[in-house]
Amino acid sequence: MRYAKCIIIPDDAGLHPVDRRIANRPDVSRELLHNVNLLADESIVTIYQFSGDRGTLESILEESPMVHKYQLSGVDDAIHAYMHVEADDRLVSLLSMLKKFEFIFDTPMEFMRRGGLRVTVIGDVQSFQEAIPDVPDGIRLKLLKTGSYEPATDRLFSQLTDRQQEILQTAVDMGYYDVPRAVTHDDIGDELGCTGGTVGGHLRKIESTLLSQIVP
């Protein structure tokens, strides 16, 4: 079993008109896409994770004629949204391609700061090669790496935002989690160009996210 880690890059701000409206609002951030399914009528159901202003997000979903229904829930700073939206040709084509070649998304998928969606697709080598010509117009794929699929570590790490991954990787590399501890929050902040307080806040959120997935 193989995986391909890549970034899906739409020519505009999002993969779907509703996604684009949210992407264009500075007070709401798309963080993770926990699931996306193409239904028999070619409508789409998704589970997003957002951060930012809940009222703005509700207004967008209420006003969009393409949203059939939605539900929001939140814990701390995260807003989780279940959405059932009307079909969009480009996204339908992308999901149909994945179904045709029997690919599986390893979730969650992470939204990048510049608008792409970082995904891990599981399948076989031949299918990856055959699928490239079927990528729909208006979407580019940037391949990051391929390899044998091992789910546990990548799944946990992918739940962190791009910035959180950078801070955690730097903390580990500099020896923050060594015994005895080799560096302080301020040392890591100096390396990353931010304050020690910012580093400490991010590490607490990172540890909360990862430990809640490990401890039963």
Convert the pLDDT of each residue in 174-198 to its tens digit: 999 999 999 999 999 999 999 999 9
Question: What is the rounded distance in angstroms from the CA atom of residue 91 to the CA atom of residue 88?
Answer: 6
As separate numbers, helices (DSSP H) first and strands (DSSP E) second, the chain gives 8, 8
Which residue from 131, 94, 132 is spatially nearest to 11, judged by alpha carbons? 94
Q: Which CATH class is domain 160-214?
A: mainly alpha
Each domain of the chain, given as residue ranges in start order, spans 2-155, 160-214
What is the residue whose two structure tokens read 């208006």? 138
Across the range 14-30, mean pLDDT stands at 92
Task: Give the side-chain half-sphere CA count within 13 A for 68.
Answer: 12
Residues 165/157, Cβ–Cβ less than 8 Å: yes
Residues 185/199, Cβ–Cβ less than 8 Å: yes
**Structure confidence at residue 156 (pLDDT):** 72
Q: Is the confidence at residue 62, as pLDDT, over 60?
A: yes
Residues 36/46, Cβ–Cβ less than 8 Å: yes
Which residue from 24, 144, 45 is spatially nearest to 154, judged by alpha carbons? 144
Q: Decide: pTM greater than 0.75.
A: no
What is the residue whose two structure tokens read 């739940």? 159
